[in-house]
Amino acid sequence: MSDTSGSIVPLTPNLPAVPVGAVTPGVVEPFPLHLRDLRDQVQRFLLEYEFGLREVETKISILRDEFQEMHEYNPIEHVTSRVKSIDSVLDKIRRKGLTLDLATIRAEITDIAGLRVTCSFAGDVYRLFVLLTRQDDIRVISVKDYIAEPKENGYKSLHAIVEVPVFLSSGRIEVTVEVQFRTIAMDFWASLEHKIFYKYREQVPAGLREELKDAATTAAALDAQMERLHRELHGGQSSG
């Protein structure tokens, strides 16, 4: 956004205005040093989360391969991961009313790096959670069990914020990663619910909200029934 003088108006009081100079044809203007430094800081900041995510992904991958090769049953159906884009991080900063400094962002936004582990059954969700979090280099910061206590709209999942060490050339750092554990049915419901909310720009009609909640109840019943059948098939043993 610019004013009538031709200068850029800063969006926040923490960011200085950058004047718009005349561009000389055929001359490449040097990139301002303060912007280059800012770019480098942001790149390093997001790289730290990428590295932390890889550490947790490796732990889950090892467990998955062990189950695949050494056991008759593999509880992990699939794994997805992502690091939030800078635009997504900025949007969350704006919604939470945070200041634009990396220390505050690191402390207040704990889902910049995210891993989703989709399991066959609810019992597998809790088993994988224990197998990951009991490792001695993992520190559990917080847990939200939306399976035991679903959200009002019917959403179910087990969310854990964990801290994992990452070793850089400059030394050890601790990186937070959000890990979500859910069943296939929970993941299916959550995916469709997200698409519906996106389509309606979060203004979902009340009737559709009720249908989504009913569908969540149906998905939970299907989860329980399929897990019971699985246990019967395996002679009453647990899904693990």
* CA distance from start to end of the chain: 57
Please report, as a single letter, which amino acid is at residue 93: I
Q: Tokens 């732990």 sit at which residue?
A: 59
CA distance 112 to 83: 6
Give, as one character, the DSSP assignment of residue 2.
Answer: B
Residue from 55, 57, 178, 193 carrying the catalytic annotation: 178
Please report, as a single letter, which amino acid is at residue 140: V
Beta strands in the chain (DSSP E): 76-83, 113-119, 139-145, 158-168, 171-183
Query: Is 72 known to be catalytic?
Result: no
CA distance 155 to 174: 30
State the catalytic residues: 178
